[in-house]
Amino acid sequence: MEPLLCTMTEAAALLRVSVDTIKRSIKAGTIPAKRIRCTVRISRAWLDSYVTETQPILLTRRQVSRKLGIGQYTLRTLLRKGLLPLVRIGRLERIPVAAVNEYVKRNSFAFLRSGRPAAPEAPRSVSSSPRDMHPVPVSQFDTRRSMFSSVAGI
């Protein structure tokens, strides 16, 4: 079970800031904290809601390409084909986080639908003979025998 209250160190790690920043925010009243004996604790529910509120809803092209692990040119192709929407705010171009997550969810199993037919497998027969396991035409065996027959005197 996850604890209901976090220490200042845990809150700093969750918010990706220093402990001093957490202390200053508590003194300023930005972060609600509770004093328990000689330690200061912060509500985990408040931290989770703060993190979700402060996450960006629009990403730059560079952020999207890093998140998807693709290059700028591939991202431009996805935008041109209409697979990802583009939001323009003045001269700025941004891509919604929800659209990127939806694209990943929609294409998470795209390799299964790639359209390439599976290679047909030849039916296998169960045999214990080494000749059947490595099929070689009989004519090759005959030429080898004739080649060795002159040397061995067969």
Q: What is the per-residue pLDDT for 48?
A: 86
* Average pLDDT value for the chain: 79
Task: Identify the residue with better confidence: 147 or 23.
Answer: 23
Extract the tokens encoding 22. Answer: 């957490």
C-alpha span between 11 and 20 (Å, rounded) = 11
Extract the tokens encoding 76. Answer: 């431009």
Considering the entire predicted model, what is its pTM? 0.48
pLDDT tens sequence across 81-100: 999 999 999 999 999 999 99
Distances in Å between the alpha carbon of 62 and those of 12, 34, 81, 123?
Answer: 27, 40, 18, 50
Task: Look at the block and give the residue holding tokens 């929407």.
Answer: 85
In this predicted structure, which of 10-19, 26-35, 76-85, 115-124 has the lowest mean pLDDT? 115-124
Q: What is the per-residue pLDDT for 136?
A: 54
pLDDT tens sequence across 49-68: 888 788 788 999 999 999 99
Residue type, 68: L
Q: Are strands 39-43 and 58-59 parallel, antiparallel or unpaired?
A: unpaired
C-alpha span between 6 and 31 (Å, rounded) = 12
